[in-house]
């Protein structure tokens, strides 16, 4: 792949969407060919799957949940991510495979080897070149969340703690790809740390 694939990860309320958008704007101003996506979503079918996944009225088993996240991912990879990377663009994506390992694997207990194997199929073997994990204590993150919580946000603090511990374990296993950025009160200071890491890549 000629392009670069940068993903953002983190637990609820860590400011991931703000930080990834700020990076996207920065790279655009630098004259880079860059596209921005969020997961699950980014294309019509994946946005429809997102609605199913996040609607608190839906009862979804851990297995079905895992497969729905993967289906959303498979579609956005095929329609947008793969062509963009082949064309040499930078793809900035708000969440990717590590989310499934953290939320469904570490969080819900779905077999992580199985997630990786289905994930490899869904992504056609595409992996991020760089992943920024924005780390914030779970309680601080959840307090920024609105009162109307989605199906995943509604889960217990214990669940979200497992997700965070999962991310930290992933970062320990893959320190070259996954960089931990501690979230600061000031979003500009957090972004400065993100840019320093990204500038070394592109
Ligand atoms: P967002 O709030 O960051 O847009 O993400 C939507 C929710 O989906 C968030 O609670 C994390 C969750 N999620 C998973 O549980 N597994 C996944 O694979 C992905 C991509 C997201």
In this prediction, residue 150 carries a pLDDT of 93
Helical H segments across 41-175, by residue range: 44-54, 62-76, 82-86, 97-100, 112-122, 138-143, 157-173
In this prediction, residue 13 carries a pLDDT of 86
The alpha carbon of 58 and the centre of ligand 1 are apart by a number of angstroms equal to: 15
Mean pLDDT (10-residue bins), the chain, 202 residues: 96 93 98 98 98 98 98 98 98 98 98 98 98 94 78 94 97 98 96 97 90
Please work out whether the CB of residue 10 comes within 6 Å of at least one atom of ligand 1: no
Q: Label residue 125 left, alpha or beta by phi (over 0 means left) and psi (-120 to 50 means alpha).
A: left
* Residue corresponding to tokens 């792949």: 1
In this prediction, residue 143 carries a pLDDT of 77
Q: Which residues contact 83 (CB under 8 A, 6 or more apart)?
A: none
Continuous segment of H or E residues that includes residue 18 = helix 16-29
In this prediction, residue 196 carries a pLDDT of 98
Helical H segments across 77-156, by residue range: 82-86, 97-100, 112-122, 138-143
pTM for this structure? 0.97
Distance in angstroms (rounded) separating the CA atoms of residues 30 and 3: 16
Q: Which residues contact 87 (CB under 8 A, 6 or more apart)?
A: 2, 3, 33
Q: Which residues contact 33 (CB under 8 A, 6 or more apart)?
A: 87, 88, 89, 90
What is the longest distance spanned by two Cα atoms in the chain? 45
In this prediction, residue 114 carries a pLDDT of 98
The alpha carbon of 125 and the centre of ligand 1 are apart by a number of angstroms equal to: 20
Please count the residues of the chain.
202
Ligand 1 atom closest to 39 (CA): 20
In this prediction, residue 145 carries a pLDDT of 67
Please work out whether the CB of residue 95 comes within 6 Å of at least one atom of ligand 1: yes
In this prediction, residue 128 carries a pLDDT of 98
**What are the structural domains of the chain?**
4-199 (3.40.50.300)
The torsion defined by the Cα of 93, 96, 99 and 100, in degrees rounded to 10, comes to 160
């Amino acid at each position: 792949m000629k392009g670069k694939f940068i993903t953002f990860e983190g637990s609820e309320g860590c400011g991931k969407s703000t930080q990834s958008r700020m990076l996207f704007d920065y790279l655009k101003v630098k004259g880079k060919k860059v596209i921005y996506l969020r997961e699950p979503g980014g294309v019509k079918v994946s946005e429809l799957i997102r609605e199913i996944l996040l609607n608190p009225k839906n009862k979804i088993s851990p297995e079905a949940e895992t497969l729905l996240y993967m289906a959303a991912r498979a579609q956005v990879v095929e329609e947008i991510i793969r062509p963009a990377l082949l064309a040499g663009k930078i793809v900035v994506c708000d969440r990717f495979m590590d989310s499934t390992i953290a939320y469904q694997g570490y969080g819900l207990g779905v077999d992580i080897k199985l997630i990786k194997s289905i994930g490899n199929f869904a992504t056609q073997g595409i992996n991020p070149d760089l992943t920024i994990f924005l780390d914030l204590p779970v309680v601080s993150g959840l307090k920024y969340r609105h009162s109307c919580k989605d199906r995943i946000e509604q889960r217990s603090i214990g669940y979200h703690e497992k997700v965070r511990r999962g991310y930290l374990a992933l970062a320990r296993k893959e320190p070259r790809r996954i960089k931990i950025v501690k979230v600061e009160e000031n979003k500009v200071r957090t972004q400065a740390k993100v840019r320093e890491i990204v500038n070394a890549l592109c």
